Structure 1
Amino acid sequence: MVDIRGVPATDIDRALELAYLVFHDRPEEEARERHHTTLTRCERIGAYDGGDLVGFMAAHDFRLSVPGGDLPCPGLTYVGVAPTHRRRGVLTGLMSEMLRRAEAGRLPLAALWASEALIYGRFGFGAATTGATIEIDSTRPLALRIAPDRRPLRLVGPEEAVGLIGPYHEAARAARPGRPTRDPERWREEWLTEQDEDDEDLSPPRIIVLGEPGEPIAGYVLYRTKPGDDSGPVRTPGLVRVDELEADGPAVAAALWECVAALDLTGRVRAWGRPVDDPLLHFAADRDQVRVTAQFPALWLRLVDVGAALTARSWAAPVDLVLEVGDARLPANAGRFRLEAGPGGASYKPAEGAADLELDVRELAACYLGGTRVTALVAAGLVREHAPGAAAALDAALRTPVLPHTGDEF
Structure 2
Amino acid sequence: MSTELRVLRASEWDKWYEGISRAFGGFDTEEREIYRELTEIDRSLAAWDRDEVVGSAGLFSFRMTVPGGAAVPTAGVTMVSVAPTHRRRGVLRALMRRQLEDVREAGTEPLAVLTASEPTIYGRFGYGLAARQLDADIDTARVRLTVPPESDALRLRIVDDAASAVTACEAVYEQRVPARPGMLRHGPGWERYPLLDPPAGREGATPLACVLAEDAHGEVRGYARYALKSEWDEHGVPSGSVLLRDLEALDPAAYGALWRFLFGIDLKPVLRVRNRPVDDAWLHMIDDDVRLCRPRWRDALFARPVDVGAALAARTYSRPVDVILEVADEFCPWNAGRWHLAGDEKGATCERTSEPADLSLSVRELSAAYLGCTALRTLGCAGLVRESRAGALGAASGAFATDVAPWLPHGF
Shift of 1:194: 4.6
2:174 is aligned to 170
Identify the residue that residue 198 of structure 1 maps to in structure 2.
Answer: 201
For the structure 1 residues 33 and 160, does the alpha-carbon distance in structure 2 shift closer, same or farther, using more than 3 Å as the test? closer
User: Structure 1's 110 and 94: CA in aligned 2 closer, same or farther, altered over 3 A?
Assistant: same
Q: Tell me what 2:65 maps to.
A: 65
User: 1: distance between equivalents of 2:403 and 2:218?
Assistant: 28
RMSD: 2.1
1:41–1:207 CA distance, 2 compared to 1 (3 A): farther
Mark the CA change 1:246 to 1:321 in structure 2 (over 3 Å): closer, same or farther: same
Q: TM-score under structure 1 normalisation?
A: 0.93
* CA apart distance, 1:260: 0.9
**Which residue among 134, 137, 140 is the counterpart of 1:135?**
137
Alignment of 1:357-376 (within 5 A): 357-376=359-378
Q: Is the 8 A contact 1:134 1:290 kept in 2?
A: no
| Aligned partners of 2:126 and 2:364 also within 8 Å | yes
Task: Provide the secondary structure at the position in 1 that maps to 2:295.
Answer: strand
In 1, are the aligned partners of 2:131 and 2:302 still within 8 Å (CA)? yes
Number of aligned residue pairs: 407
Retained in 1: the 8 A contact 2:76–2:113?
Answer: yes
Which range moves more in the overlay, 346-355 or 70-79?
346-355
Superposed, which structure 2 residues align to 1:249-328 within 5 Å?
Answer: 249-288=251-290, 291-328=293-330
- Structure 1 match to 2:337: 335
Say whether the 8 Å CA contact 1:46–1:57 is kept in structure 2: yes
Contact preservation (8 Å) 1:166, 1:184? no
Secondary structure at 2:411 match in 1: coil
The answer to whether the Cα contact below 8 Å between 2:143 and 2:286 also exists between their aligned partners in 1 is: no
**Which of 220, 224, 230 does residue 221 from structure 1 map onto?**
224
Q: Secondary structure at the match of 2:327?
A: strand
- Once the two structures are superposed, residues 2-55 of structure 1 have per-residue CA deviations (whole angstroms, 9 ceiling, x without a partner) of 1111111222222222122222x2344444334433336683111112222100
How big is each residue's C-alpha offset from its partner over 1:307-365, in whole Å with a ceiling of 9 and x where there is no partner? Answer: 11111111211111111011112222110121111133222122223211001111111
Cα distance in 2 between the residues matched to 1:337 and 1:265: 58
CA distance in 2, matches of 1:292, 1:255: 22
TM superposition shift of 1:234 = 9.4
Answer whether contact 1:281 1:290 (CA < 8 A) is retained: no
- Report the more deviating stretch, 371-380 or 138-147: 138-147
Question: 1:16 — aligned with what?
Answer: 17
Contact 2:147/2:253 (<8 A) preserved: no
Map of 2:404 onto structure 1: 402
Which ranges in structure 1 are unaligned for 5 or more consecutive residues? none
Question: Cα–Cα, structure 1 residues 332 and 288, in superposed 2: closer, same or farther, change >3 Å?
Answer: closer
| Amino acid paired to 1:15 | W
Tell me the amino acid that sits aligned with residue 249 of structure 2.
A
Task: Give, in whole Å, the separation in 1 of the partners of 2:142 and 2:380.
Answer: 45
1:83 Cα offset (Å) = 0.4
Q: Is the 8 A contact 2:31 2:196 kept in 1?
A: no
The answer to whether the 8 A contact 1:356-1:386 is kept is yes
One-letter amino acid of the counterpart of residue 313, structure 1: R
Is the partner of 2:96 in helix, strand or coil?
helix
Q: Which residue of 2 aligns with 1:89?
A: 90
2:189 matched residue in structure 1: 185
SS at match of 2:201: coil
Structure 1, 132-141 or 109-118: larger mean CA deviation: 132-141
Provide the C-alpha distance between the structure 2 equivalents of 1:314 and 1:362, rounded to a whole number of angstroms.
20
What residue number does 2:8 align with?
7
* In 1: Cα distance, 2:79 partner to 2:92 partner: 12
TM-score by length of 2: 0.92
SS of residue paired to 1:155: strand
